[in-house]
Amino acid sequence: MRLLWICLLLGGLAHAAPPLPEIEGWQDYQAGRWQQARDRFQRAAAEGNRVAAFNLAIMHWRGESVPVNYDKALRWLRVAADKRLPQAEYVLGLLYEHGDHVPRSQPRATSWFMRAALQGLRAAQLDLATQYYLGRGAPRDLRMAAYWYEQAAEQGDAGAQYLIASMYEHGDGVGQDLERAILWYARAGVQGDVAASLKAIALARRISPAQ
């Protein structure tokens, strides 16, 4: 599980949200000067910088310039999340979802996903939608699932585009609307989802069989 969320944190989140603002120490970190980076992050975090706290959490989790220390990583992660850094809120959601160094709790996962989703973090919107869709950590609510899938779809998530298209196709959580289903399938198809492209074509023929 640790590898899972670190990959999401350092890879997927870079594409799911605006980049974090560059702070003092970031160039040192990228250059592998981890001791200098940690010292600068530590100073900035002590002054209340939420991004620095988030970066410290990463360094303690990965053991960069310091021994791996999950307790310290979690402490700095919570500092960043309490200051409403959406990336930190989302990662806490993942940790509670999987029970990784915290007690597993789907309701807490849903709560953290919600906080990040409300700030526009695409990955959190997608996972929050799935929580509602499955009734995991929240009552099953297809209307809420559709709302958050569409929010993530609007931000360009191909998986969310396919899912909201299917919900419009079948009237799950939304009024059935084949034209909107075609639109979302087509948008997912443009991003390389072949199955979505085929669904868009099939639905278009269903609406206008003579064409």
From residue 92, how far is each of 10, 110, 116, 152 by CA, in Å? Answer: 14, 10, 10, 19
Interior/surface letters 6-18, b for 16+ CB within 10 angstroms, e for the rest? eebbeeebeebbe
- Are 162 and 184 in contact by the 8 Å Cβ rule? The answer is yes
pLDDT tens sequence across 136-176: 999 999 999 999 999 999 999 999 999 999 999 999 999 99
* pLDDT recorded at residue 57: 94
Q: Binning pLDDT at 50, 70 and 90, where does residue 24 land? A: confident
* pLDDT recorded at residue 26: 87
pLDDT tens sequence across 25-56: 888 988 999 999 999 999 999 999 999 999 99
Residue 31's contacts (CB-CB under 8 Å, 6 or more residues apart) are none
More confidently predicted of 118 and 24:
118
Residue 2 has pLDDT above 50, yes or no: no
Residue 208 has pLDDT above 90, yes or no: no
pLDDT tens sequence across 75-126: 999 999 999 999 999 999 999 999 999 999 999 999 999 999 999 999 999 9
Q: Binning pLDDT at 50, 70 and 90, where does residue 3 land? A: very low
Q: Binning pLDDT at 50, 70 and 90, where does residue 186 land? A: very high
* pLDDT recorded at residue 25: 87
Amino acid letter, residue 74: L
In the 3-class helix/strand/coil scheme, how is the chain assigned residue by residue? CHHHHHHHHHHHHHHHCCCCCCCCCHHHHHCCCHHHHHHHHHHHHHCCCHHHHHHHHHHHHHCCCCCCCHHHHHHHHHHHHHCCCHHHHHHHHHHHHHCCCCCCCHHHHHHHHHHHHHCCCHHHHHHHHHHHHHCCCCCCCHHHHHHHHHHHHHCCCHHHHHHHHHHHHHCCCCCCCHHHHHHHHHHHHHCCCHHHHHHHHHHHHHHCCCC
Residue 5 has pLDDT above 50, yes or no: no
Task: Look up tokens 């940790």; give the residue.
Answer: 95
Q: How many residues does this entry show for the chain?
A: 211
φ, ψ dihedrals at 65, nearest 5°: 75, -5
- Are 178 and 207 in contact by the 8 Å Cβ rule? The answer is yes
